[in-house]
Amino acid sequence: MGRFVGLFYGLVSYVIFFVTFLYAIGFVTNLVVPKTIDSGAVVPLGEAIVVDLVLMSIFAIQHSVMARQGFKLWWTRFVPRAVERSTFVLFSSLALILLYWQWCSIPTTVWDIANPRIALAVTALGLVGWFVVLLSTFLINHFELFGLQQVFSHFMGREMPTPSFHEPLFYRFVRHPIYLGFVIAFWAAPVMSVGHLLFAAVTTAYMLVAIVLEERDLVSVFGDQYRNYRGRVPMLLPWRRSR
């Protein structure tokens, strides 16, 4: 019964994540969804900046703390190891849902591409960024990344395989194609408002910090194999030499 509950919990967490991810595309691109980055409540500028920074900080703190190895060791004293990743995914999704719900728009325009062909091309580039994000998760095991493999293995009574290091497709050119995809998706906007610019700038800064923290964990897991990889492959920009 416990295994079935764990599997059900993992499936529900994954569905919530995937819907949240799809909503994020519409939220950032101002397409389809009812509440977007530029259609939220308009409040005084200072209040909007504070609210939006708090919302992004909630996600950043939750995401960074719960992803750390030390926190996982402590957290799994209370939460079954099989659903640890699903719980992380669920909490991240809830933090994003809170952001969508309470986001305050700052609609003042920073730039607006008047040429419809160029605007369409920029929109397409942003969608390419989202595609890179999603495809990159499948290249490194999408279902493990979002907790499904863990709960399914537990349900079947199997041990999770030992993590193995590999460099599929995009990972041969940049170490963090998921983050690169997000950067493209957030900045490729034919119309850039102040609110969107704030979101793009803060999330990009957060991703740079997250990369440092994430790579410490990867070195602790893979050791010299990851150190050598870090020395050969650039972090985000494939035309720059790695440091």
What global pTM score does this model have?
A: 0.92
Q: What is the pLDDT of residue 243?
A: 47
Q: For 16-55, write each residue's pLDDT tens digit.
A: 999 999 999 999 999 999 999 999 778 999 999 999 999 9
Q: For 121-174, write each residue's pLDDT tens digit.
A: 999 999 999 999 999 999 999 999 999 999 999 999 888 888 888 899 899 999
Closest CA to 66 of 180, 213, 199, 194: 213
| C-alpha to C-alpha distance for 122 and 178, rounded to whole angstroms | 19
- Token pair recorded at residue 34: 């009812």
Q: What is the pLDDT of residue 242?
A: 47
